[in-house]
Structure 1
Amino acid sequence: MSSPEPGDPLPQSVQLAWGLSDTGTRGPRRGLTLEQVLDAAIEVAGAEGLEALSMSRVAKQLGFTTMSLYRYVSNKDQLVELAWDRAIGSPPELPAGGDWRERLEAWAMAEYRSLRAHKWLTQYPIRTAPYYPNNLLWLDAGLGALSATPLDEPAKVQVVTMISLYAIGRARFSWELGTDVADDLSDTPAMLRRILDPEKYPSVLAAVEGGAFDPDGSDADDEAVWHEQDFRFGLERLLDGIDVLIRRAEDGS
């Protein structure tokens, strides 16, 4: 979906998401709501993956004909975009009275966990600006976490976008890696020692000997441990950098 120019009609999916347009006119008379269609799409994607999500599969989930769905959405892309926004939900209330770092960290962790709650959300390519209600609520909450800082508005948007993209990337990585693969990484140090030539890969082997690839000793049955610890480590480094940026803005440099 391309970005609308000022004065151009809003894309139909945006109109539907904001309740600015009635559902379509194709297909038989209505027996559903748009929300029911989107909830069924979320169920299908959650159970079978994004690749299984189609107009016909959602219609089957609802017990309706495929043609009947065209009363509500025009095509699969519109269905997925609207279902994505519904699935991500609204952001949580951020800590009252906290400083920018505490609030932005809470925001980032909440986004990461929301993405982790629906594996298929990380599989859908980012092809549009966040025109949809819940996406914009997340953006507004992230920007609000920075409201008391001296950063200008473009910088705030850059910061929030950077952290959001980090959350999406880490959530996708954690899903693709998977618990079973993560458990297999316990063999990584021994494997790397066997296959790497110290003269060609001195830095990697130094990391091996330094324990960078050793198991962290956490409970392997607790899936949240390894991926959330990894996410938090990177997030803390991003927040450290943002802290420097804010201090520079405070100094006027």
Structure 2
Amino acid sequence: MDEIPKAIQLLWGLDEPGSRGPKKGLTLMQVVDAAIDVCDAEGFAALSMSRLAKQLGFTTMSLYRYVDSKDTLIDLISDRVIGPPPTIASTTPWREALEMWAMAEFESIRAHPWWLEIPLTAPPAGPNNMGWLEAGLAAFSETAVPDPIRLQLVMNMSLYVISRTRLVLQMTASTDAPDNYTLVLGRVLDPARFPALLKAISAQAFDMDENNWEINDFKFGLDRLLDGFERYVESF
């Protein structure tokens, strides 16, 4: 199995954690879940092998029986956190299926927002990530869209979900924007230079439902993306 990266071997059960040293009675997934607990409580930047060892009551060196490096650990928690894809009935129309898929990924990331901080150094290859890809591709099973195009559409959808979720979470966490944002803009913008923007502001284009704006904003963009997909799918 040397040609397969260690993280992928562990993700797919092709290898087991090392056997050297005394047994501690933990599974690999318990170690991974403890790392996720650290990130949930303190953020992704707080994760280190020494911090994880403290969380588990281990020595740092003993953790290398389970994972050979922090990079391997990160690959494992990345796949673990995103979780399995939603169950979508095979009879679900493709647009509805993709909407369910996208909303589920949106909520999965929102549950662990630090996941967005994990560097993407290689294409995801874990079973959960592959499950999401399979579920997205399956949505097009009753269409005439060619397989390579299906993959591009699903990847495009995932990129939308990730980037839009990142924006929503950053805006939610930000304390920099003034509460009277639209009023401030209305006072500083020159009507001769920004007529279209001022017209949008006066129509309350920036006003948000404080209770649901994150979901509404995400879904509005998702619906427009799916509108484009629909026209494209109909062309085959």
Taking structure 2 as the reference length, the TM-score comes to 0.93
Structure 1 match to 2:15: 21
SS in 1 for 2:65: coil
Q: 2:54 aligns with which of 45, 57, 60?
A: 60
Distance across 1 between alignment mates of 2:19 and 2:187: 65
Query: Structure 1 unaligned runs (5+)?
Result: 1-6
Does residue 103 of the first structure (1) align with residue 97 of the second (2)? yes
Q: Report if aligned partners of 1:30, 1:71 keep a CA contact under 8 Å in 2.
A: no
Alignment counterpart, residue 168 of structure 1, candidates 162, 168, 171: 162
Could you tell me how far 1:179 is from its partner in structure 2?
A: 5.8
CA deviation map 1:114-157 (0-9, x unaligned) = 11111111121222112110000000001001111111111111
Quick check: 39-48 or 89-98, which moved more?
Answer: 89-98
1:45·1:52 contact (CA, 8 Å) conserved in 2?
A: yes
Q: Is the 8 A contact 1:25 1:70 kept in 2?
A: no
SS in 2 for 1:129: coil
Q: Take 2:181 and 2:135, find their aligned partners in 1: how far apart are those partners? A: 40
Query: For residue 204 of structure 2, what is the aligned residue in structure 1?
Result: 211
Give how far 1:77 is off. Answer: 1.7
Alignment of 1:18-97 (within 5 A): 18-24=12-18, 28-31=21-24, 32-97=26-91
State the 1:47 CA deviation: 0.8
Give CA deviations for 1:158-205 in whole Å, capped at 9, x if unaligned.
Answer: 1111111111112211221116649x6651211101222223333322
- Aligned mate of 2:6, from 6, 9, 12: 12
Query: Are 1:196 and 2:189 matched, yes or no?
Result: yes
Q: Give the match's secondary structure for 1:13.
A: helix
Indicate the percent of aligned positions where both proteins have the same amino acid: 48
Give the 5 Å matches for 1:92-241.
92-178=86-172, 181=175, 186-215=179-208, 218=209, 220=210, 222=211, 225-241=212-228
CA distance in 2, matches of 1:198, 1:8: 65
Gapped runs of 5+ residues in structure 2? Answer: none
Report the AA paired with residue 156 of structure 2. M
Structure 1 residue 82, shift from structure 2 partner: 0.4
| TM-score (normalised: structure 1) | 0.87
| Rounded Cα–Cα distance in structure 2 between residues aligned with 1:63 and 1:192 | 53
- Partners in 1 of 2:42 and 2:105 — Cα distance? 23
Q: Does the 8 Å contact 1:50/1:123 carry over to 2?
A: yes
**CA separation in 2, counterparts of 1:162 and 1:139?**
11
Deviations 1:88-121 (A, max 9, x none): 1111211452210111111111111111111111
Q: Distance in 2 between matches of 1:165 and 1:29?
A: 44
- How has the CA–CA distance of structure 1 residues 118 and 233 changed in structure 2, closer, same or farther, with 3 Å as cutoff? same
SS of match in other structure, 1:58:
helix
Distance change >3 Å, CA 90–CA 185, structure 1 → 2? farther
Following superposition, which runs of at least 4 residues in structure 1 exceed 3 angstroms of deviation?
179-182
